């Protein structure tokens, strides 16, 4: 080992000498430290998701049936939008790596251009995720929840296609749900927001419409179990509450944990993308101002690039375990 003290005035040198451990600069190595620890955090979340899923392996929602929406289009398009989001993120990873490459050639114009494209890609992704969340929270078909917390969905008895509550519910004009607002009593008490239809209205509509039956959470050979009309009428007695959309307590898609993990994991990832865009913007302006030209190297772009690729890498796993498997 060379123990002599270096007098070289190179910024990238670690305190103590010219020998760079692992031949990587201090900043880059620290970025790798962060990435490894962040990867462990994300895998902790995904492993917890796997735990809950294996625990409820027979009743877990089928992702294909949950994420079926594409903006500006009606109909059933499973996965297309998420695939588009994945592609956008990979694309922005490519422009980032091109920016790093241009940085190696000290080409400020190209770095600026590619950084800008990367920022735009990131913004599109975050926007798409916001839209996904909004759609997920709003819900589509609506469902009933039983006393035991199970979700009952409605399907057409002939085709097996999903039927929305609004399609068969008979609204009762005499029944007006009044819910307790904080302005009408003790200020810190507030009731649950009433659903569009009351439980009684949904029940009445279901009993009147012979073409609708109930689908349970249980999965048999890859399909959710559909009850016969008689069983469905009997099962209806267990229903306790009308569920529309999703929140942290209950959701119309099935297992309560499903929505919790969705919000938590995609939210945490979305937060990473958001901060990645913010950091990219800062570096973008530094590039514009010529900071790295004066410094003599574009290593900062490379370090942000590492973070940005890591965000892409995590999405590849989230995509697989949340949407595909």
Partner 1 sequence: MAHEHKLSIFRGLVTFKNNQQKIWGVLLFLSIVTAIEVGLGITKPEFLMNTSFPGMKPLNWIFIILTLVKAYYIAWDFMHLRDEKASLRRVVVWTPVFLISYLVTLLLFEATYVYEIFNTTFMTWNF
Binding site for partner 1 (CB under 8 A): 12, 22-25, 28-29, 32, 35-36, 39-40, 43-44, 47-48, 50-58, 64, 78-80, 83, 86-87, 90-91, 93-94, 96-98, 100-101, 104, 146-148, 150, 221-222, 238, 297, 299, 302, 305-306, 309-310, 312-313, 316-317, 319-320, 323-325
Shortest distance in whole angstroms from residue 42 CB to partner 1: 10
Q: Where are the beta strands (DSSP E) in the chain?
A: 143-146, 151-156, 212-220, 223-226, 239-243
> What would the two tokens of residue 49 be?
């998701």
What is residue 241's three-state secondary structure? strand
Of the pair 52, 112, the CB lying nearest partner 1 is at 52
Q: Give the chain's end-to-end CA distance (angstroms, integer).
A: 50
How far is residue 201's CA from residue 190's CA, in Å, rounded to a whole number?
23
Q: Rounded to whole angstroms, what are the CA distances from 148 to 151, 165, 256, 262? A: 9, 21, 12, 22
- H helix runs in 219-263, sequence order: 229-235, 256-261
On whether the CB atoms of residues 286 and 295 are closer than 8 A, the answer is no
Shortest distance in whole angstroms from residue 221 CB to partner 1: 7
Shortest distance in whole angstroms from residue 10 CB to partner 1: 11
Of the pair 47, 208, the CB lying nearest partner 1 is at 47
How far is residue 234's CA from residue 312's CA, in Å, rounded to a whole number?
48
Of the pair 90, 126, the CB lying nearest partner 1 is at 90
Shortest distance in whole angstroms from residue 160 CB to partner 1: 16
Of the pair 65, 190, the CB lying nearest partner 1 is at 65
Shortest distance in whole angstroms from residue 238 CB to partner 1: 6
Shortest distance in whole angstroms from residue 306 CB to partner 1: 6
Shortest distance in whole angstroms from residue 29 CB to partner 1: 8
How far is residue 154's CA from residue 145's CA, in Å, rounded to a whole number?
12
* Range 99-108, long-range pairs (CB < 8 A, 24+ positions): 99/301, 99/305, 100/298, 100/301, 100/302, 100/305, 102/298, 103/292, 103/297, 103/298, 103/299, 103/301, 103/302, 104/298, 106/293, 106/297, 106/298, 108/287, 108/290, 108/292, 108/293
Of the pair 168, 309, the CB lying nearest partner 1 is at 309
Angle at 188 between CA 186 and CA 190, to 5 degrees: 85
Of the pair 206, 307, the CB lying nearest partner 1 is at 307
Of the pair 47, 249, the CB lying nearest partner 1 is at 47
Shortest distance in whole angstroms from residue 93 CB to partner 1: 5
Of the pair 168, 310, the CB lying nearest partner 1 is at 310
Shortest distance in whole angstroms from residue 77 CB to partner 1: 9
For residue 205, with 0-12 CB atoms within 10 Å meaning exposed, 13-18 middle and 19 or more buried, which class applies? Answer: buried
Of the pair 107, 167, the CB lying nearest partner 1 is at 107
């Amino acid at each position: 080992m060379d123990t002599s003290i270096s007098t070289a005035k190179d910024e990238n040198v670690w305190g103590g000498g010219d020998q760079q451990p692992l031949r990587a600069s201090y900043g880059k190595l620290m970025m790798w430290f962060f990435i490894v620890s962040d990867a462990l955090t994300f895998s902790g979340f995904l492993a917890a998701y796997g735990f809950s899923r294996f625990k409820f392996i027979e009743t877990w929602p089928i992702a294909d049936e949950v994420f079926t929406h594409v903006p500006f289009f009606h109909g059933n398009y499973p996965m297309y939008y998420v695939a588009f989001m994945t592609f956008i993120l990979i694309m922005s990873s490519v422009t980032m790596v091109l920016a790093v490459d241009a940085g190696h050639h000290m080409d400020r114009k190209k770095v600026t251009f590619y950084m800008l494209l990367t920022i735009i890609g990131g913004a599109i992704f975050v926007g798409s995720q916001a839209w996904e969340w909004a759609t997920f929270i709003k819900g589509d078909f609506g469902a009933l929840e039983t006393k035991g917390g199970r979700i009952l969905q409605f399907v057409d008895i002939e085709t097996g296609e999903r039927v929305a509550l609004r399609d068969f519910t008979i609204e009762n004009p005499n029944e007006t749900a009044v819910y307790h607002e904080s302005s009408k009593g003790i200020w810190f008490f507030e009731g649950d927001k009433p659903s569009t239809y009351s439980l009684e209205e949904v029940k009445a509509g279901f009993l009147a419409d012979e073409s609708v039956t109930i689908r349970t959470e249980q999965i048999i050979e890859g399909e959710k179990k559909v009850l016969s009309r008689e069983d469905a009428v009997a099962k209806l007695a267990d229903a306790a509450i009308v569920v529309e959309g999703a929140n942290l307590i209950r959701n119309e898609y099935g297992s309560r944990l499903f929505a919790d993990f969705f919000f938590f994991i995609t939210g945490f990832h979305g937060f990473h993308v958001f901060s990645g865009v913010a950091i990219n913007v800062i570096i973008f302006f530094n590039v514009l101002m010529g900071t790295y030209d004066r410094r003599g190297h574009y290593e900062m772009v490379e370090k942000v690039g590492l973070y940005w690729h890591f965000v892409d890498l995590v999405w590849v796993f989230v995509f697989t375990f949340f949407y595909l498997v």
